[in-house]
Structure 1
């Protein structure tokens, strides 16, 4: 485990020089999805993760100044990958790294400011747009989430399972329209996860240079 964490730190350090305004050092907390399953996160100007047959989420609220963000840019790296999976399959949808954007209607945002991810997942007004590196889907495919209330979550495939370093630029407003229809509302939360429990594999990955625009 120490060797894997050291690798994650190296990946994080490699991207730190170009880190964007979203700081992964402050305000981030891990949310376990199981008592017996947890990833290892390295928080800083970039976020490194190691997942060994496990799954969990690192979560942070978004400052009010960024609630109106319509797009995002970031850079991510995968040094060790899960095998290709079907991201539409509950219990078989491992992926290397995902970046989540959590939206609520504008009028509800002040009352949900600072809410934790577990409580938001149970709110029928919440919509979660997830960009994934993993699976075996073509780039840009919208995949309804097999978890939670129907219509609450959607995954957009960006990179198939594999290793490397990539930069991304996404149109949150347009992708929200494709996934859910209507206007996106306020962006109140961000999350990052790695998921390797179904394939009992190992992930080493990092994300940085995240800019909301």
Structure 2
């Protein structure tokens, strides 16, 4: 059974992410994260697991997520903590391939776009999207994934865009059906992934997707916590 992680006296909670354990609806501080040209969406619902309310995601040839919109400066160190569980990994899952770019569970961290670091065509493309859809695209992103083949601790670029870096924090089928706790320093990870200081974090999302492999899985997400480390 899961027990909540206690903060040490030297830690300080960062701006609040709505806790799944306290929500009455999946829309309490979170909103759907959907993508163009993907009509089949994953299903997210609140349920009680081992006496604690969590979010359960079901994906079957589908893709979508839940995102919390925030605005947080990572500064010297910002710790992201969560726990998750999956029913299975995808037999055809492969983080290095477009056809295998599916994960039973992932945490998506979106950073603010930095126009001064982008070329003319990148800025123009983003402006066109903003005009068409009324929403600005994020900049770089980190995806913490439950991978199938990628070894734990290995980074790869997303096969669709080099603006997103993928890090396997859990991998393989060994721990399927078990709660796994994860802790990452977002600031340190951004520096390693992109070789520069991180801009503001503008969103954190959960996502279970299987639109490329056509497979199916369930995932359970516990509370996601942001902590300012000393």
Query: Are residues 1:143 and 2:146 paired?
Result: no
Larger Rg: 2
Name the SS of the counterpart of 2:93 in structure 1. coil
Deviations 1:164-191 (A, max 9, x none): 2200011111111111111112111011
State the TM-score, normalizing by the size of structure 2: 0.70
Give the total of aligned pairs.
Answer: 185
Q: Which blocks of at least 5 consecutive residues in structure 1 are unaligned?
A: 1-13, 109-114
CA change 1:83–1:98 in 2 (3 A) is same
Tell me the residue number matched to 1:160: 171
Tell me the residue number matched to 2:145: 132
Tell me the residue number matched to 2:10: none
Deviations 1:102-123 (A, max 9, x none): 1126999xxxxxx9x99444x5
Query: Are residues 1:204 and 2:218 paired?
Result: yes
Q: Tell me by how many angstroms 1:41 deviates.
A: 0.4
Question: Is this contact kept in 2: 1:105–1:184, CA < 8 A?
Answer: no
CA change 1:38–1:133 in 2 (3 A) is same
CA distance in 2, matches of 1:198, 1:107: 31
Tell me the residue number matched to 2:184: 170
Question: Is this contact kept in 2: 1:83–1:161, CA < 8 A?
Answer: no
CA distance in 1, matches of 2:185, 2:78: 6
How well do the aligned residues superpose, as a CA RMSD in angstroms? Answer: 3.0
Tell me the residue number matched to 2:44: 41
Which has the larger share of helix? Answer: 1
